[in-house]
Structure 1
Amino acid sequence: METKRRPRWLPWVTAAALLGGCGSAGGSPAGDDLDRLRQQARAALDRYDQAVREAGDTARFVPVGELTRQLGDWEPANGIYKASLGAGRVEAIGALPAAPTPTGNLVWANGTKQSVPLISADEALAQLRQAGAGECGDCAPLRVTGARLTTMRISTTRGAATVPAWEYTLDGSAVRLARPAVAASSAVQVTPPSWDPYQPSGGLAIESATTTTTGRELTVTFTGAPDPGSRPCGADYRTEPVESDLAVVVIVIEHRHADNESCADVGARRSATVELARPLGERAVLEVQQGLPVPLTIR
């Protein structure tokens, strides 16, 4: 179910690149730069279309964001477990249950349902471990003592959805962990391009999108300058969509107050609206840097 993990520009890193010092990175692209972003967007659409074909064309379940949930807060004596969970250091100390039925229902906020194959608590725990990132040295592993089948709410490219999930109990802590009980084969898995930390992809990466069921307007959020372009170190933003039958990439174009201003490395949540050629429907919304889907809210 997980997309392949790779480093991403964090919002504060993006903000620093946009706002810091005298550099021009992140400014209003023109000519060749804008053409390059359009080519980058079309390449992202091609990768997404390929991912849908590999999932069997009928798959429209595209989970977005972190799928492992921590339920409750770590006790003071168990603070080290935060690092253990982040690194995927989780192990079962006994037998865990199998899925009680072969399939379950994924339910979107509008009531639409999709039948999905279920996996055992062991398989979901393996996904949880695989999703771990980073090292935690000699930190103690989390010890899973049991699991029960329940549900959890996650973000998808079609809005929020409720999915079957395994909820795990832990040895020595009241914290519980949750992970979707859905087979990875039922989801579209997007593979980003090879990533070079010294030559990152250009453009501003949107972080979320909002639309209506029938409207053509799509509002996107991203990290940008705190102030409008009429003020020093501020910026205004416009957007451009690149569309396919299965997805939309939104290019965000920045217009700064002035070039070569010395500005603080501070970013703020900004938003902009783009008009699509037709309502979004079941299409995914992708950010331009890596072509990964973003959470969608449907109002």
Structure 2
Amino acid sequence: MPIRTSRSVGVLAEIALSVVVLAAVTGCASRSAPADSDTDRLTGRAQLVAAAWDGSAAAAAWRAGYYPRGEAVQLPKGGPHSEADKLAFKERKFVLRGELPVDEPRNGQVVWTGGGSLARPLEGAVRSYERLADTHVDGRPHLTVTGAKPGRMMVITSRGSATVPAWLFSLDGYTTPLKRAAVLPSELPTSPIKAARDIPGHPLDRLVKITDHGRSVTVVALHGVCDDEAEVDVLETHGSVVLSAAVKGHGSGSTCTKQASLQQVKVELERPVGNRVLLDARTGRPVPYKGLDGISPP
């Protein structure tokens, strides 16, 4: 199977999402781009990852499982009523002022829009609320949960959109519920290739978004504060999309703090992702979906 490498990748976000302190002040050398040898190693690694996954038992398990690629939490229809509520949703500030069902459900059906279903274990309302809520309010804007009942919601997955069991949490002041998926994702299959520790750069932090048409994905990549910006190369095959994160170049300067910034990078694809496995070249594993704030717009 031919393997094509695309390097037409653009950076969307110039603004770092967060800064991670790694070490003390150090010198920063100036260079304009990654060395050719580094690029060749990344390309070769991506080819190895694609070859290992395509047609493997791990890929078959991935396509048979339930792996969300969209938010597991959805706001009430119409969204937050105020800026204070918007902040409370973003920071997951909730207070429970009601009773939650204590019965522990066992299994529920994930039903894909394109056909097929899968039975998966469910978590109870109490556990689902604990995962949803940061109850350390400390005087900050918060929302009041008055109860919960079972229901269903739509989630984007690696196999397309699916209707899944959910807990519908009623909120004081809202006529429609906040929904949280109750079904547990499938276990990730064991990768057919080990992580690489001898190539430059960092693993991708997360998958943030796949566009509706599937022709672009947004991931979060790590780069040093002395680097110009992060970039992500893509290698597409019939069965996988392998992403390799690198840095475009280092800025000049005698000193800088040894810190790293998380940056959103949009990756354009030749064809829609579909049910292909989205892989990190360094780890040899699927890029984890985490989103940004954990709660999607209505």
TM bin (shorter chain): 0.5 to 0.7
Instruction: Check if 1:69 corresponds to 2:74.
Output: yes
Matches within 5 A, 1:282-293: 283-286=276-279, 292-293=287-288
Aligned residue number for residue 160 of structure 1 = 161
**Under a length normalisation based on structure 1, what TM-score does the superposition of the two structures give?**
0.55
In structure 2, distance between residues paired with 1:30 and 1:242: 23
Task: Give the CA deviation at 1:108.
Answer: 1.4
User: Where does structure 2 lack aligned partners over 5 or more consecutive residues?
Assistant: 1-10, 17-29, 53-57, 191-199, 220-231, 252-263, 291-298
Instruction: Check if 1:60 corresponds to 2:55.
Output: no
Counterpart AA for 1:113: S
Aligned residue number for residue 11 of structure 1 = 13
Task: Give the CA deviation at 1:87.
Answer: 2.0
* 8 A Cα contact 1:206 1:222, kept in partner: yes
CA RMSD of aligned residues (A): 5.4
Aligned to 1:273, the other structure's residue is in SS state coil
Matches within 5 A, 1:245-284: 248-251=241-244, 271-273=268-270, 283-284=276-277
CA change 1:254–1:120 in 2 (3 A) is: closer
For residues 199-230 of structure 1, the C-alpha deviation after alignment (integer angstroms, 9 at most, x for no partner) is: 97378988656899xxxxx944459xxxxxxx
Higher relative contact order (CA 8 A, sep 6+): 2
In structure 1, distance between residues paired with 2:233 and 2:268: 10
Task: Give the CA deviation at 1:24.
Answer: 7.1
Aligned residue number for residue 235 of structure 2 = 240
* 8 A Cα contact 1:45 1:248, kept in partner: no
**Under a length normalisation based on structure 2, what TM-score does the superposition of the two structures give?**
0.55
CA change 1:92–1:206 in 2 (3 A) is: closer
Task: Give the CA deviation at 1:180.
Answer: 0.4
In structure 2, distance between residues paired with 1:28 and 1:274: 27
Aligned residue number for residue 231 of structure 1 = none
Aligned to 1:64, the other structure's residue is in SS state coil
CA change 1:137–1:82 in 2 (3 A) is: farther
How many residues are paired up? 233
In structure 2, distance between residues paired with 1:41 and 1:141: 48
* 8 A Cα contact 2:159 2:275, kept in partner: yes
Task: Say which is worse superposed, 161-170 or 203-212, in terms of deviation.
Answer: 203-212
User: Where does structure 1 lack aligned partners over 5 or more consecutive residues?
Assistant: 1-8, 15-22, 47-51, 191-198, 213-217, 224-236, 261-266
In structure 1, distance between residues paired with 2:212 and 2:174: 41
In structure 2, distance between residues paired with 1:211 and 1:84: 28
CA change 1:105–1:93 in 2 (3 A) is: same
* 8 A Cα contact 1:207 1:287, kept in partner: no
Aligned residue number for residue 31 of structure 1 = 37
In structure 1, distance between residues paired with 2:15 and 2:96: 37
